[in-house]
Amino acid sequence: MDHFNYKDGELFAEGVALKDIAKKYGTPTYVYSKATLERHAKAYIDSFESMSGLVCFSVKALSNISILKTLRISGCGFDIVSGGELHRAILAGADPKKIIFSGVGKSKDEMVAGIKHNILSFNIESEAELDRLTSVATEMNKVAPVAIRFNPNVDAGAHEFTKTGRKSDKFGVSTKTAKELIKKCTESKSINLVGLTCHIGSQIMELKGFEDAAKQALELMIALDELEINLDFIDMGGGLGVSYVGEETFQPSELIRCYETIFAGRNEKLILEPGRSISANAGIMLTKVEYEKDGFRITDAAMNDLLRPALYNAHHDVWPLVESNKQTTEVNLVGPICETGDFLAKNINISASQDDLLAVKTVGAYGFVMSSNYNSRPRAAEVLVDNKKFYLIRKREDHSSLTAFEEGLDDQI
Ligand SMILES: Cc1ncc(COP(=O)(O)O)c(C=O)c1O
């Protein structure tokens, strides 16, 4: 459930008319609802019953510091995948003991930063990575906390590019290698084994894949019990799918119930790393129709602002800001970028004329974070709505921000 609704024929985010945001900050602009973010974080946090839980919001989904602050205050920790995301989480006031560092390619500098900040865990995805972390920790005379990411070889559906749990994917190690790496961790003075982890993909619409992965995790945990190796936590990653165009979805409570059933009687903490299911429905993108042309409506937002349609052929609902009775027509919503792949929505029924304002829905995850400056287009503004107030949380870029890091403007090159 989100907080974007029509009131007297006008689209609102919580208590704010979206047209007022467009008037003040222009378009394209990402708008997030604080109440929706808080509600979704709570839906996870309040659902743990038999296991103690920690929800680490996956920063890659939506990384604006004000959003991270909101989620930190709601009780979330963070799942990060880069030194940049660590920097953001720290600026947002995150408790480092609630930060998990995922990802297959951590650099030495990123490992040093994670150790200095005393994070909860490095989720390790290969032997080479474990070896590098061991030598970094040894050099620093520190002990690095580690969870081993195993790959359960399950195909849980979703888009080819967002599946991460198959043997053929680059993520994690086989259960056999996981056991070997775990043993290696226990033999190292510079490594503290704290957990076991996996993440099978994103926008997963069935619980079966999560169950299969959890059952394999349990088998591994039982094998470790026999070796008297204890873990602090089992981290099952994120991946729960959301409704983009009316699909049926599972609630966080249903996912957690399924994990708690499989892990019944265990003492490990259950960590989850949801991204999309917390932030996707909490964001819309405001855009204006620039031109009408045959079956097209050309908007001021483009694939550089929202990449998901071009990258994944993803579908997003589009709502007009004014709920009109005008007859709808089937149109393609496209941007000004010089690519045929630059579209926001295809074959949608909407009444949209020049200068009309539209809201592209469910863009709070993998929306702004994937935006770029392609075609030298400044990135959009970001606004956070809190009840009847709204705050600019990222300024719209301008032409000088586009060239700010370029050298040679003074003819030296
Ligand atoms: C390791 C890891 N954890 C969590 C997530 C978040 O996934 P989602 O946004 O589908 O919940 C991802 C995203 O791909 C990921 O790679």
Chain segment 46-55, per-residue pLDDT in tens: 999 999 999 9
Class of the CATH-defined domain 4-32+280-403: mainly beta
Q: How far apart are CA 234 and CA 221, in angstroms?
A: 9
Exposure on the CB side of residue 381, measured as CA atoms within 13 A: 21
pTM of the model: 0.96
Pocket mutation for ligand 1, best pick of 80, 100, 102, 199 (most atoms within 8 Å of C-beta): 199
Comparing 4-32+280-403 with 34-278, is the CATH topology the same? no
Q: How far apart are CA 184 and CA 127, in angstroms?
A: 9
Residue 199 C-alpha to ligand 1 middle, in angstroms?
7
pLDDT at 210 over 80: yes
CB proximity list for 142: less than 8 A, separation 6 or greater: 115, 190
What's the pLDDT band for 85 if we cut at 50, 70, 90?
very high
**Torsions phi, psi for 372 (to 5 deg):** -140, 180
Chain segment 98-154, per-residue pLDDT in tens: 999 999 999 999 999 999 999 999 999 999 999 999 999 999 999 999 999 999 878
- Is 149 known as a binding-site position? no
Question: Can you give the pLDDT at residue 318?
Answer: 96
The ligand 1 atom nearest the CA atom of 162: 14
Mean pLDDT over all residues of the chain?
A: 95
- Assess whether the previous peptide bond of 28 is cis (omega < 30° from 0): yes
pLDDT at 158 over 80: no
Nearest to 284 by CA among 229, 358, 340, 337: 358
DSSP H helices in 118-207: 127-140, 175-187
Beta strand ranges found along 62-201 (DSSP E): 77-80, 99-101, 121-124, 144-149, 191-197
- Is 14 known as a binding-site position? no
CB 78 within 8 A of CB 89: yes
Domain locations in the chain?
4-32+280-403, 34-278
Give the domain 34-278 fold.
TIM Barrel (3.20.20)
